[in-house]
Amino acid sequence: MEVFVGLSNFALMKKPSKNITYLALIFVVATAMVVYFMPGDSKHKYSYELNRPWNYELLTAPFDIPVYRDSATVNLMMDSIDRELVPIFRIDESAEARVTAVIRGSKELSEHTRRRLLEVVGRIYDGGVIDARTAAIIARGELPEVKFNIDNVNVERPTARFLSQRDAYAYIDSLFRDNPERSAIQSLGLSNVLNPNVIEDSKATEQYRENLIQPIVAAIGMIQQGERIIDRGDRVSPQLYQVLKSYEQALEKMGRHDRNRQFYTIVGKMIFVVSLFALLYFYFGFYFPDTLHSVKRMLAVVLLMVVFFLFAAAMSKTISSGLYIVPLAILPIVVQVFFDARTAFFTFVLEVLMCAVLASFQLEFIFIEVLAGTVVIFSLKELSKRSQLLRSAALAFFTYVVGYVAVELMSAGSLTAMSGRLVGYFAINAVLISFAYILIFVIEKSFGMTSVVTLVELSDINNPLLRELSQECPGTFQHSMAVSNLASEAAHRIGANVQLVRAGALYHDIGKIDNPAFFTENQYGINPHDALSPAQSARIIIGHVTDGIKRADKFKLPAVIKDFIWQHHGKGKAKYFYMKEQQLHPDRQIDPVPFMYPGPNPNTAEASLLMMADAVEAASRSLTDHSESAIKALVDRLVDQQVAEGYHNDSPLSFRDVRLIKDTFIKRLRSMYHGRVSYPPETQAKTADK
């Protein structure tokens, strides 16, 4: 048996793998995304928040610093300008000239009609002709007046007299409806030449808007070089907050021209992120080499970390202290469900360190998040009910508040500066944590991973497949229950996945449903193997493995459960029928292949446990002597024989694990077959009472 410990696990990580390219691609893409969304150069930046004490030494202006309005105020004022902005229009004199030219050139109109028509057109154009879009805006009441630039002076003019092209033509048509020359007027095609003469001047309007905005975005003050800005302990008031922001903006503008510093900043970010993801890969290489070689599982873990970082980056950029809204504690919950508490804590710490670059107070952020995440991990030793998430969310909220109070008392010496808004963020965070169940479900369906929650649901004996097993194969069902209890107890002793072993044991023999009478535990006096040759019997017995896989596919059981079905006999033989075949044909060499199970041999501690428990439980039923020595001899013989035949060579079990497993089996079987008190006959009992 191979013992996988320490550097042996790490050696597995270095095995050639066809997936190495994909794993490297995941690493590179994840690193690039995190580096891209990390905040900019922070050499001259300080961590501070509005209405919180300044935690640094005296800060004086190293140069003249223009002070600008904050972005929120600027946006508010610009929105107000856009709402009240009156556009600038211009008069197109050629529009009226083109219409009058058409009228004057007509030979069908009398002089009287021509003069009257020219007078009406002149009156219409004096009032103003506009296009349909502008007319619709005016009709909605959104443009009661417009401006005209006359001699570089913007003059306002009401829009009440403006007519659209359609309305202008309708007005002309109504005035000349009874005119005998109406047909001549219509032949002029005024509807096609009656073009707008009041036209919006987009360029002038934009320039006018820029002139209005300029004072808003311009500096509203100046901090002289050497002037005091803020000192340790001072409260960051709204005015000081804006001064500090202006100071950082000035430094950022200066830094944009320093290409060398920009380059080294990016290099530093890359080293930081690469180090964190490298630690993640090394961790799985040491403790979960199979996961490291699984593209889907590694993609799930890395994607979780990247998504939470991007969410944190968005929240920190959008909302002040919005980083505390991000439910980072969901990450260890999800990882713990699919792996274990140690992996959950490790990945969570890496995530917190990654997100700490987004925080204003990094030490405070790390302390509060690690505190809350650790409490959540401890509160979910084994997630089996949705209600546990509500309890964990409540504990997370309580821990956040306690951590926040501790930090405030340490930094300020009082709670007067505590922010109710931040406590509200903690509450939102806790509510989001309670929805971790949804994320667990999504990951299961997307990446084919199996959570503890699913294993608990599969272990319910009211599951349709287990109910069918109990009805069709009652003996097999009782055997599976006994194996489940035996294996899960041993799994607990050696630190294996108890819930996985329990579920796998319940389903390992579901292939027997197809031929229940051919298995001893389901027989009642008649043995159908008596009418078959050993080879035929072996084929039926061995077939329960492939039959079980077909049934597992039909009921869509997870891959980890199907592994137990494949591996619970490994590549062993149906020995009884193989030996019987040898007895029937002592004069020839018997090919062992038809009598061998398809395998593979167990490659996990849980699968090895099941193989041992399956053999021991089945054999223990034939014991007539249930003394401790007899049970110990049976367990030692069966387990040692499996080890000697190499069935557990691919398993990570150590010799110490095997010893603990044997000890557990012996104790468990002793309790199952303990002796009972022999009660005297009823008549004798009555006599004794007298």
Residue 660 to residues 486, 487, 497, 639: CA-CA distances in angstroms? Answer: 13, 12, 15, 12
Report the range of poorest mean pLDDT among 252-256, 452-456, 675-679: 675-679
Mean pLDDT calculated for residue range 645-669: 92
3-state secondary structure of 227: coil
Q: Is there a contact between 469 and 557 (Cβ–Cβ < 8 Å)? A: no
CB 275 within 8 A of CB 423: no
Instruction: Catalogue the long-range contacts made by 549-553 (C-beta closer than 8 Å, 24 or more residues apart).
Output: 549/511, 550/511, 551/465, 551/510, 551/511, 551/513, 551/514, 552/507, 552/510
Q: Which two tokens stand for residue 173?
A: 């048509």
Summarize the confidence of residues 349-370 as an average pLDDT: 91
The CA-CA-CA angle for residues 287, 289, 294, to 5°, reads: 130
Whether residue 36 contacts residue 357, with contact meaning beta carbons closer than 8 Å, is answered with no
Give the phi and the psi of residue 604 in degrees, each rounded to 5. Answer: -135, 160
Phi, psi torsion values for 284, nearest 5 degrees: -65, -30
> Can you tell me the distance from the alpha carbon of 62 to that of 250, in angstroms, rounded to the nearest whole number?
11
Tell me which residue has tokens 């078959």: 532
First to last CA, the chain: 65
User: Which of 42-51, 294-303, 539-548 has the weakest average pLDDT?
Assistant: 42-51
Quote the pLDDT of residue 524: 79
Q: Rounded mean pLDDT of 302-325?
A: 90
Beta bridge partners of 200: 89
Q: Which of 328, 336, 330, 354 is nearest to 275 (CA)?
A: 354
Residues 113-134, mean pLDDT to the nearest whole number: 89
pTM of the model: 0.61
Once rounded to an integer, what is the mean pLDDT over residues 376-388? 75
**Which pLDDT score is estimated for 328?**
93
* 141-180: b (≥16 Cβ within 10 Å) or e: eebeebbbbeeeeeeebebeebbbbeebbeebeeebeebe
CA–CA separation, 581 vs 326, rounded Å? 67
Q: Given this model, what pLDDT does residue 13 score? A: 42
Among the listed residues 605, 603, 534, the one whose alpha carbon sits nearest the alpha carbon of residue 571: 603
Strand 163-164 to 129-130 pairing: parallel
Q: How far is 98 from 100, CA to CA, in rounded Å?
A: 6
Query: What pLDDT sits at residue 175?
Result: 85
Q: State the CB neighbour count (10 A cutoff) for residue 609.
A: 35
Spatial distance between the Cα atoms of 3 and 653, rounded to a whole number of angstroms: 6
CA gap 385, 437 in Å, rounded: 10
Q: Quick check: 71 pLDDT over 70?
A: yes
pLDDT band at 383 (very low <50, low <70, confident <90, very high): low
pLDDT grade for 273, boundaries at 50, 70 and 90: very high
Does a cis peptide bond (omega within 30 degrees of 0) precede residue 602? no
Is residue 220's pLDDT more than 80?
Answer: no
Token duo for residue 47: 């961590």
Candidate from 267-276, 355-364, 415-424 with smallest mean pLDDT? 415-424
Do the beta carbons of residue 447 and residue 297 sit within 8 Å? yes
Name the least confident of 7-11, 204-208, 551-555. 7-11
pLDDT band at 384 (very low <50, low <70, confident <90, very high): low
Domains, in order of start, for the chain? 7-42+260-447 (no CATH), 84-201 (no CATH), 484-672 (1.10.3210)
CA distance 10 to 283: 9
When pLDDT is averaged across residues 312-335 and rounded to a whole number, the result is 89
pLDDT digits (tens, 9 = 90+) for 598-609: 989 999 999 999
Instruction: Residue 298: name the closest of 309, 282, 311 by CA.
Output: 282
Neighbouring CB atoms inside 10 A of 376's CB total 29
**pLDDT tens-digit readout, 501-558:** 999 999 999 999 999 988 888 887 788 888 888 889 889 999 999 999 999 999 989 8
Residue 495 is which amino acid? G
Residue that wins the pLDDT comparison between 413 and 604: 604
